[in-house]
Amino acid sequence: MEKTYSFAHIVVLALSVTATQVGHAQTGGMGGMDMKDMDMGMKKGADKKSDSKIHKGVGTVKKVDPAGGKVTIAHGPIPTMKWPAMNMTFTVKDKALLNKFSQDKKVEFEFVQQGSDYVITSAK
Ligand SMILES: [Cu+2]
């Protein structure tokens, strides 16, 4: 009798443990979502690094290098890059954009930073 009682007690314990585990499993699922959110947050951080913020500049074309797909521009200050006015060479994203540039032409342009390159994405 006492043995049977113990057995029943163990079954009840086992059931309640199982129920608790199920409860934890559900909570764990939500925890998993939290983790996913964290992963997404981390991914967002990584994207931020490669994500290309567009900067705008105005300047005068100094040189066009059609073969290299580059233009040298004497640009005014670019606050978004914390740049003062300077002469510098940009890479042109699309060679079709090159016809927007000719020596001594005044241009408004947009560019992104790609690693150590500055790539012009549009110009007018
Ligand atoms: Cu510059």
3-state secondary structure the chain: CHHHHHHHHHHHHHHHHHHHHHHHHHHHHHHHHHHHHHHHHHHHHHHHHHCCCCEEEEEEEEEEECCCCEEEEEECCEHHHCECCEEEEEEECCHHHHHHCCCCCEEEEEEEEECCEEEEEEEC
The pLDDT of residue 122: 96
Q: Report every protein residue that has its C-beta within 5 angstroms of ion ligand 1.
A: 83, 86, 88
Q: How far apart are the CA of 46 and the centre of ligand 1, in A?
A: 25
Q: How far apart are the CA of 115 and the centre of ligand 1, in A?
A: 15
Distance CA 32, CA 118 (A): 40
Burial zone of 42 (CB within 10 Å; 0-12 exposed, 13-18 middle, 19+ buried): exposed
Low-confidence ranges of the chain (pLDDT < 70): 1-51
Taking only the tens place, the pLDDT of each residue in 81-102 is 999 999 999 999 998 999 999 9
Percent of the chain with pLDDT over 70: 58
Q: How far apart are the CA of 111 and the centre of ligand 1, in A?
A: 11
Q: How far apart are the CA of 84 and the centre of ligand 1, in A?
A: 7
Distance set, CA 94 to CA 58, 68, 108, 119, 122 (Å): 19, 11, 16, 9, 9
Q: Is residue 104 a contact partner of residue 111, using CB atoms and an 8 Å limit?
A: no
Q: How far apart are the CA of 87 and the centre of ligand 1, in A?
A: 6
The pLDDT of residue 79: 96
- Its pTM stands at 0.60
The pLDDT of residue 34: 52
Q: How far apart are the CA of 110 and the centre of ligand 1, in A?
A: 12
